[in-house]
Amino acid sequence: MKPGAVAIVGAAETTELGVVPGMAEIQLHADAALNAMRDAGLKPSDIDGVATAVTQPQAIAHYLGITPTWVDGTSVGGCSFMLHVRHAAAAIESGLCRTVLITHGESGRSGIGLGRPQVLPASLAGQFELPYGTFGPPTMFTIPVLRYMKTYGLTEEHLANVAVIQREWAAQNPRATLRTPITVADVLNSKMIAWPFRLLMCCLVTDGGGALILTAADRAKDFPQRPVYLLGTGESVETPMISQMADFTSSRAFRVAGAKAFAEAGITHGDVDHLMIYDAFAHLPIYGLEDLGFVGRGEAGAFIAERHTAPGGKLPTNTNGGGLSYMHSGMYGMYALQESVRQVRGIAPAQVPDVEVSVCHGVGGMFAASGTIIMGRERP
């Protein structure tokens, strides 16, 4: 993608986030989509590209009354929306469509109208992982961490501190699910989920949705909101089985997606004013900071403890409170993208001053997939 060729011109979350028992998943998609179209001043008939994950794009197109000339149903977990942004940019640049709507809706807490895939007993994960009592992400995503801790001397306090600092951000955000300040001791004394992970090191489980609208940068100035330009994008996958991740201390998918996005954008780490790293669990920002190259291997725990990612720090990170404190419906990537858009537009509840460049990094499955999107305020 040519840096700055495509822009985000509409962005919104569902009207309500958190516990939304009055909406099925498809309506969470639609509620966010209608909000994003209002944000962009568009109607369904103005949209000619549709992308979504888990729910099929035809379901969204039909429900909203859209006749697309391009669809993308890439479904690789919570970073699917980062990949949709990347694919949509390529589609718009090559003329396959003009205006793309990317939607997410998930009734993760209330479970109304779920479309979630199951692990089948004849799949490789069904044969070689599930029989050992894996029971959702808290028992799988967490497995590599003890190896990381032994390799680099990361402590349980380092992990706890990730949650403490993100709660500081959440405290500034009226829409965050959890806003009460917490201490390292609070985190370490919270309910044990899967040692060494306590409850407060694990993401929320909530209901919500979000939607983005993308178009060519040449058209972007005609829309009501300040455009957010796409500077660089990257994606990759590694393995659907956490046990087969090649290096338990580093994600190959993170490294590949991140490097691709930085190279495409032509920026250095010093150019980054704001960072989002999908935090399903407290170790994700640690792996992300290292695999994206913001710090060296084994340095992220101390970097966070030194408050560099905290309010007032040099690299404000997960400024909405993250999956740990803001919201996490199951596929959090859309909310990370929304926060990057808000920060670049300058309208975030915990606004960082003068955000020119925001990096938004997502994970899918348990280190299975990754997508990195770099956004900018000015067209290069």
Partner 1 sequence: MPDPKRARPQPTPETRHYWEGAKAGELRLQRCDACNHTYFPPRPFCPACASRAVSVFRASGRARLYSYVISHRPAPGFTPPYSIAVVELEEGPRMMTNIVGCPQTPEALVLDMPVEVAFPPLDDDISLPVFRPAGSAA
State the residues that interact with partner 1 by CB under 8 A.
120-122, 124, 126-136, 138-140, 142-147, 150, 191-197, 241-244, 248
**Closer residue to partner 1 in complex, CB, 172/190:** 190
Distances (CA, A) of 304 to 43, 258, 265, 300: 43, 20, 26, 6
**Closer residue to partner 1 in complex, CB, 240/333:** 240
Compute the distance between CA of residue 77 and CA of residue 12 in angstroms, rounded to an integer.
Answer: 20
Distances (CA, A) of 322 to 99, 171, 249, 284, 328: 29, 11, 22, 11, 8
- Which tokens is 151 given? 């390799």
DSSP-derived 3-state class of residue 293: coil
In sequence order, the 6+-apart residues with CB closer than 8 A to the CB of 379 are 4, 7, 217, 227, 229
Q: Which of 148, 229, 278, 332 is catalytic?
A: 278
Please indicate whether residue 278 is annotated as part of the active site.
Answer: yes
Residue 286 exposure: Cα atoms within 13 Å on the Cβ side: 31
**Smallest distance from partner 1 to CB 195, Å:** 4
**Smallest distance from partner 1 to CB 130, Å:** 4
Phi, then psi, of 7 in degrees rounded to 5 = -130, 155
**Closer residue to partner 1 in complex, CB, 147/221:** 147
Q: Which of 148, 229, 287, 326 is catalytic?
A: 326
**Closer residue to partner 1 in complex, CB, 337/363:** 363
**The Cα angle at residue 282 between residues 281 and 287, in degrees rounded to 5:** 95
| Cis preceding linkage at 196, omega within 30 | yes
Q: In this structure, which amino acid lies at residue 168?
A: E
Compute the distance between CA of residue 14 and CA of residue 109 in angstroms, rounded to an integer.
Answer: 15
**Closer residue to partner 1 in complex, CB, 78/144:** 144
Compute the distance between CA of residue 135 and CA of residue 138 in angstroms, rounded to an integer.
Answer: 7
Compute the distance between CA of residue 243 and CA of residue 229 in angstroms, rounded to an integer.
Answer: 38
Please indicate whether residue 326 is annotated as part of the active site.
Answer: yes
**Smallest distance from partner 1 to CB 147, Å:** 4
DSSP-derived 3-state class of residue 339: helix
Using an 8 Å Cβ cutoff, are 297 and 136 in contact?
Answer: no
Compute the distance between CA of residue 201 and CA of residue 192 in angstroms, rounded to an integer.
Answer: 10
**Smallest distance from partner 1 to CB 159, Å:** 13
Nearest Cα to 372, choosing from 279, 277, 285?
277
DSSP 8-state assignment for residue 317: B
**Smallest distance from partner 1 to CB 332, Å:** 20
**Smallest distance from partner 1 to CB 199, Å:** 10
**Closer residue to partner 1 in complex, CB, 167/283:** 283
**Smallest distance from partner 1 to CB 280, Å:** 14
Active site residues: 278, 326
